[in-house]
Structure 1
Amino acid sequence: MDAGADTTGKLLVATPLIGDGNFERTVVLMLAHQEEGAAGVVLNRPSGMLVSDALPQWAPHLAPPSTMFIGGPVSNESVVALARVRQDPDQGWWTPVLGLVGTLDLEADADEVANAVDGVRLFAGYAGWSPGQLEDEIESGAWFVVDAHPDDLLTEDPGDLWPAVLARQPSPISWFTHYPTHPSHN
């Protein structure tokens, strides 16, 4: 993929060259990519905090696991919500990102939204890039940009998402599936 291409709806998969502990072995769903910058959420970093403690009205609607996820290092006090809908609700509370998964406005009434959604996931913070920053990181080899599979977005097994996404890519990207956590131990 061209480093300057729009990555909205794509996955960024951290390569071993990432050089930033915030993103080591992460998979990021890109929510927006514009001239002003880019933003996404880390899909595979569940936290120990239960959503029922922070936003109890959304707890019954969560896709498992029912924990708050760490969406990225930017604005950790804010919450970004993803929701899988049964069909495009054509409502102001949902904005599509990929297929039937999109962002959910947490100001919406959780009980009214319940009949339209199959699952919700909440993220504390997000990943953000200033203009040109993400393009530079992609160009330097810090990220693989790959197509998202709808099941990736609300996976029940976020700990295995990084190798699973890599494994379904063509060679040589798929070779990184078995890249050791600590290359010095190889």
Structure 2
Amino acid sequence: MAFSTLKKDRERGFLDGQLLIAMPGMADGNFSRAVVYICAHSPAGAMGFIINRKQPVTFADVLLHLGLIDKTDAIMLPQHARDFPIQSGGPVETGRGFVLHSDDYTSDSSIPVSDDISLTATVDIVRAISEGRSPRRATMLLGYAGWGPGQLEFELANNGWLNCPATEDLIFDRALDNKYDRALALMGVSPAMLSMEAGHA
């Protein structure tokens, strides 16, 4: 599914707002030990964001790239803007930024993902964050993960993923290194259990 097909008034699919947790045998290297937050799922496909991948780009880099500040302004950015998290959201459109955020911020372009979380992919939220008007909780992701019609269902049926309801704490937690293990813990599963299952035909 392409991001451009994500609409405000869409009917939510059964995986909307769910986490996908990659199984150890995941063949696609893009998704090894990935935790993916699904934003849209329908017969047309699915799209979401990997929420446990680091990204070397900083928020100041994004502001400079968009021409919202110059190098002199970058030095003067407030601490909250300098520290704003940027992650690698997936292998599709990696030069494009998306902000997942709590629903206390909204604009004409914000799309509700769940009852509490929205997605905004326009420059207005970037400007708001730089000016101290950011949502209560938010993270920026460069790129996204997309699946064509029936593709994700096929991968689930073939034990490529586990899925469970997402929690806001896990989505916005900045500690990425052990997020995979903590996502599994939401399901009462340990990585060792998965390794054992992966070893059996």
Structure-1-length-normalised TM-score: 0.79
Corresponding residue number in structure 1 for 2:128: 111
Corresponding residue number in structure 1 for 2:151: 133
Deviations 1:65-89 (A, max 9, x none): 634211111111211211124x4x5
User: 5+ unaligned residues in a row in structure 1: which ranges?
Assistant: none
Rg larger in structure: 2
Query: Which amino acid in the other structure matches residue 175 of structure 1?
Result: S
Identity of matched residues, %: 27
Structure 2 distance, partners of 1:153, 1:63, is 19
Query: Which amino acid in the other structure matches residue 111 of structure 1?
Result: A
Structure 1 distance, partners of 2:14, 2:49, is 16
* Structure 1 residue 45 corresponds to structure 2 residue 62: no
Structure 1 distance, partners of 2:102, 2:47, is 19
Match among 96, 119, 142 for residue 112 of structure 2: 96
Q: CA deviation at 1:32?
A: 0.6
Match among 17, 25, 34 for residue 9 of structure 1: 17
Q: Is the 8 A contact 1:49 1:67 kept in 2?
A: no
Deviations 1:69-125 (A, max 9, x none): 11111111211211124x4x5642422223432102323253388546113311111
Quick one: structure 1 residues 135 and 62, their matched pair in 2 at CA, closer, same or farther if it must change by over 3 Å? farther
Q: Is the 8 A contact 2:23 2:194 kept in 1?
A: no
Structure-2-length-normalised TM-score: 0.73
Corresponding residue number in structure 2 for 1:34: 42
User: 5+ unaligned residues in a row in structure 2: which ranges?
Assistant: 1-12, 70-76
Per the alignment, in what secondary structure is the counterpart of residue 66 of structure 1?
coil
Q: CA deviation at 1:6?
A: 2.3
Q: Which has the higher strand share?
A: 1
Report 1:141-152 matches (<5 A).
141-152=159-170
Q: Is the 8 A contact 1:61 1:114 kept in 2?
A: no
